[in-house]
Homo-oligomer: A and B are copies of this chain.
């Protein structure tokens, strides 16, 4: 109930003007050592907290956040973080935070490079992007360092001094979690078919980490009973190929009991093997794409691990706002929860994706 302490109060108590207090707060110099000391002392004594509302109003500066993301609607997974960023921007627009979006072709390093240049040329105050192409991303980070643009990475981490924060999943641990869930579905023994439905150029690190996590969990659980068969499929957009491939694998390895699709493309597998009638083959995939959710509800997919892709984008923008407007620090790494989603609890997560 007691009125808030303002810089005016500080000034009065310290016997100086508000201008001097302001100089102390912002360390603008031009204050004698003794006066500065006195002011700091009074601030401490009165437990002064600057009014951030007034501060942002007076500050009156627009922050432009550069966003470099894969083309919208080119891949359903990559829509999620971008939509999350836009939602976040909406919720902080009053602080003068805006997005400068620049899209690139998900499968073209050249286009990534070109888009990056175009974005930097617009001199954003910060940059957010997923380092899908390692080499080009490192170049971009070097460039950011030159022009002093702080950067947040999403989806994949990269070690680089210019990276202020990484927001994303812990791929290794998601592999471990997959191991746990799949082993539960396997009554004690069996083979896991690990499917990498991806082009070689992208995400290699990711998928490897997941594989390691899975293998580690299964080995530690029961070294002899569980085995993993890995299969990489670059031609994942071709249902016939996928279908025949899977058929032959199941024929060849009769002990395949479950399938682990290492990214968000589990639905492609389900679509491809619709015809394949046989005993239920438990499938675990990632992310709450509409297609995945559909098959989850139908019982064709058993588990989805939600990597909170849209929340990654949301947090990136939120954190940058906190950083610029509220001068808050940011953790170097922010791992988001790995939600276990089954048909019975999917609704809440879907709702959350939309909302916040």
Contact = CB atoms under 8 A, between A and B. Distances in A.
B94 A52 contact: yes
Contacts of A173: 344-345
A338 B54 CA distance: 39
A187 B184 CA distance: 10
A345 B349 contact: no
A259 B194 CA distance: 33
A53 interface: yes
Instruction: Indicate how many identical chains form the complex.
Output: 2
A51 interface: yes
Contacts of A349: 337
Interface in A286-335: 335
A1 interface: yes
B338 A340 contact: no
Contacts of A337: 339, 345, 348-349, 352
Interface string A211-230: 00000010000000000000
A82 interface: no
A203 interface: no
A276 interface: no
A323 to B, nearest CB: 15
Interface in A38-70: 51-54, 56-57, 62
Contacts of A338: 345, 348
A176 B94 contact: no
A185 B173 CA distance: 22
A95 interface: yes
A336 interface: yes
Nearest to A302: B184
Given A1-B62, A52-B94, A187-B187, A180 B344 contact: yes
Interface in A6-40: none
Given A54-B57, A94-B51, A187-B187, A342 B340 contact: yes
Contact of A342 (B94, B177, B335): B177
Q: Which 5 A-B pairs have the closest CB atoms?
A: A337-B348, A340-B340, A52-B94, A177-B344, A338-B345
Given A180-B344, A339-B345, 11 more contacts: A52-B94, A53-B56, A53-B95, A57-B57, A173-B345, A179-B344, A184-B184, A337-B352, A339-B340, A340-B340, A340-B345
26 contacts: A1-B62, A1-B98, A4-B96, A51-B94, A53-B53, A53-B56, A54-B57, A57-B57, A173-B344, A176-B344, A177-B345, A180-B343, A180-B344, A184-B185, A187-B187, A217-B344, A337-B345, A337-B348, A337-B349, A337-B352, A338-B348, A339-B340, A339-B345, A340-B340, A340-B342, A340-B345
